[in-house]
Chains A and B, each alone.
Chain A
Amino acid sequence: MELSMTAKKSFAEFTLATEFTVTGSRVGVFGVSGSGKSTLVSMLAGTVTPDTGEIILDGDCLFSSSRGINLRPDQRRIAMVFQQHSLFSHLSVKNNLLYGFKRCREEHRTIDFNVLVEVLQLEDILCRDVTNLSGGEKQRVALGRAIMANPRLLLMDEPLSALDDSLRFQIIPYLKSVSINFGIPYLFISHSLVEMRLMVDNVLFFEKGTLIEQSSSEQLARNRMGQSPVGYINILELSSMTERNGLCVYRWQGGELLLSQANSATSSGLFELSSKDIILFKKHPEAISARNLLQCNVVNLFESGTKMGVELECNTGRLIAEIVPDAARELDIVMGSVVHAAIKASAFRRLATTQAAS
């Protein structure tokens, strides 16, 4: 997908002005509430008309103020998944799924209904009324409905924001299936950097209606580390949990990590660890209360605001720790140095179980 957009849209107290070209099948739009993300996707979908500008998708002009072109939303082949599932309450699950498919031209129909139902695990609810579904089921149906419309681009406008934490990360693999299983490029909108890193490769970062940065999701997370109250979030896939001395021991990248007892119900899954929760030592400490002490190599150093990020190689895994420049000098941390990273067992937070996310 290649999307080129030059657009300006003014409201009473807000103006969105942007110009970018982005390629790739997994693109993100990141920004806090009120940064113009939803206006941007609405202009792409055609439900909001820019004051001026031009929108070109894969060589086709969707909007051009100078040439007087403005395709209606139904002529753009751009489907959308919304924050609220927005299912049609008068239709069953199956008829919701087929709504866009029935309106799709024969030559564009590439999605197999049965495959979709299998990938999104909708077999058991096909005949049900959409009003009786759980939040996660509704969002899967909404996603399936958008995919079945066989769009050339799928816009996902904060599709996880209405879900609670436990559901959010269970839905992500389904969202990723849009690109992986069905080959449809998507534009994922979110104010969560963790979601961005799990969902997309390239990110457009908006602030107050202006494009601030265009980079990879990983680079954006590193650049924002110094300004974020939660620092950089390390995402770790842990497996093969066993219990030892009241703690949970997980396998991670050839080594092991000790997590608190609260995780005992999860045998394997995705966990997050803030860069602020990693303490670095120049020498091996004699005694320490943190249950994880890892010997690591410093493979990269980067600045982020007033903070310094230290990329560590521990066994075969990578972690990013956050320190202030003074600490870096005192510890004499340079590329290639060996440090010891201490992490409390309670510092990890479960995002999703691997079983549900598979």
Chain B
Amino acid sequence: MFLTGSDIQSIWLTAKLASVVTVILLIVGTPIAWWLARTKSWLKGPLGAVVALPLVLPPSVLGFYLLLAMGPNGPVGHLTRALGIGALPFTFWGLVIASVFYSLPFMVQPLQNTFESIGDHPLEVAATLGASPLDAFFTVALPLARPGFLTASIMTFAHTVGEFGVVLMIGGNIPGVSRVASVQIYDHVEALEYSQAHSMAAVMMIFFFLVLLGLYVWRPSALKMSRRD
């Protein structure tokens, strides 16, 4: 087989990390995107900038500050130790938290755009039919935003799979714990194992190509669905 056991382990870890991060960001990112799409508060600008920060920030910068925050002397580190969880850096859950921050704009921004395009009107209609704001959100806004949720989830998953800098800063290179696919490729190159690096890189290439292909093939029909009315 062209992939070693260690390669498969890193791919499995990457898939697990990306899945967990996507689920967490669906839960955390949806209310943020909803608020950003509907608020008229002056805080919209500052919060929108904070959400978008990982898009432009070097991963090492983000990783550095997260490492400080989660380290034994950081505020998060103090908290986790007080809760009996211990230190988060170089653990899978430390990696998850870092990835949540790093992939936040990939979930929030597509959702925010979708919620903005839906507008207030369908919710007002639902309200005049007796739906409370929460009811209208779950029975009207969420179903209408389905295409946006699919796009945001795919983008978040793919972006988490492709992480490298933040992962290395927070997780290091521990097999089965924090050695994800991108770090595994780096490891192979460092060890001059080019054929193994090729195999892993090919797997990553094919994966990302298929993700983008899926998005491009699916997107027109999704757009059509959201605009047909």
Contacts and interface: CB of A to CB of B under 8 A. Distances in A.
Interface of A: 45-47, 72-74, 77-80, 82, 86-90, 99-100, 103-104, 130-131, 145-146, 149, 155
A55 to B, nearest CB: 15
Q: By CB atoms of chain B within 10 A, which of A99, A104, A131, A155 has the most?
A: A99
26 contacts: A45-B124, A46-B127, A47-B124, A47-B127, A73-B124, A73-B128, A74-B127, A74-B130, A79-B128, A82-B125, A86-B122, A88-B125, A88-B140, A88-B143, A90-B144, A90-B146, A99-B126, A99-B129, A99-B131, A100-B129, A103-B129, A104-B130, A145-B129, A146-B129, A149-B129, A149-B130
A99 B139 CA distance: 9
Interface residues of B, number: 20
Contacts of A155: 128
B128 A45 contact: yes
Contact of A86 (B125, B130, B133, B228): B125
Q: By CB atoms of chain A within 10 A, which of B122, B132, B229 has the most?
A: B229
B135 interface: yes
Interface of B: 121-122, 124-133, 135, 139-140, 143-144, 146, 228-229
B132 A72 contact: yes
Contacts of A130: 229
Nearest to A105: B130
Contacts, number: 66
A76 to B, nearest CB: 8
Contacts of B126: 88, 99
Contacts of A88: 122, 125-126, 140, 143-144
Nearest to B129: A100
A89 B127 contact: no
A87 to B, nearest CB: 7
Contacts of B129: 74, 79, 99-100, 103, 145-146, 149
B229 A131 contact: yes
B130 A78 contact: no
B218 to A, nearest CB: 17
A155 B122 CA distance: 16
A73 B132 CA distance: 8
A89 B229 contact: yes
Contacts of B127: 46-47, 72-74
B130 A103 contact: yes
Nearest to A45: B128
Contacts of A72: 127, 132-133
Contact of B130 (A47, A77, A89, A131): A77
A104 B131 CA distance: 9
A89 B147 CA distance: 13
Nearest to A42: B124
Contacts of A78: 128
